[in-house]
Amino acid sequence: GENVEQHPSTLSVQEGDSAVIKCTYSDSASNYFPWYKQELGKGPQLIIDIRSNVGEKKDQRIAVTLNKTAKHFSLHITETQPEDSAVYFCAARLGGQNFVFGPGTRLSVLP
């Protein structure tokens, strides 16, 4: 089955700097890759996603890149702000409703 690894597990950056979180997946048939942000005591919120026929997608300060050959995708956050502090989960969809999640990255943005 699909396996998703995520690095780093924790990340601290200074406010205004960029943050990058990387995920790798094992099954080349996976075709959709969402990213979720989970704040303390809340459910994960979909923040950006990318399909396998696209290499990059951007939405304001966040972007996702996909390298199908290497089977990895990354979340990029620029000009980080304290409110970006949260746990971020990547996921890969193998097909239908079969989603596999990464273990999460705890991002801390230091003022």
Partner 1 sequence: GAVVSQHPSRVICKSGTSVKIECRSLDFQATTMFWYRQFPKQSLMLMATSNEGSKATYEQGVEKDKFLINHASLTLSTLTVTSAHPEDSSFYICSAYGAGATNEKLFFGSGTQLSVL
Q: Phi and psi at residue 48, in whole multiples of 5°?
A: -165, 155
107 interacts with partner 1 by CB under 8 A:
no
Residues in 84-103 that interact with partner 1 by CB under 8 A: 89, 91, 93, 97, 99, 101-103
43 interacts with partner 1 by CB under 8 A:
yes
- Give the strands of the sheet with 72-77, arranged side by side: 4-7, 19-25, 72-77, 62-67, 56-59
Mark out the alpha helices in 3-107 (DSSP H runs).
none
Q: Which residues of 74-95 are buried (b: 16+ CB within 10 A; e: fewer)?
A: bbbbeebeeebbbbbbbbbbbe
68 interacts with partner 1 by CB under 8 A:
no
Tokens (6 digits) for 33: 């890759």
Q: Which of 77, 84, 104, 109 binds partner 1 (CB under 8 A)?
A: 104
CB 81 to partner 1: min, Å: 21
Q: For partner 1, which is the closer residue by CB, 38 or 65?
A: 38
# residues contacting partner 1 (CB under 8 A): 20
Residues that bind partner 1 (CB under 8 A): 32, 34, 36, 41-46, 49, 89, 91, 93, 97, 99, 101-104, 106
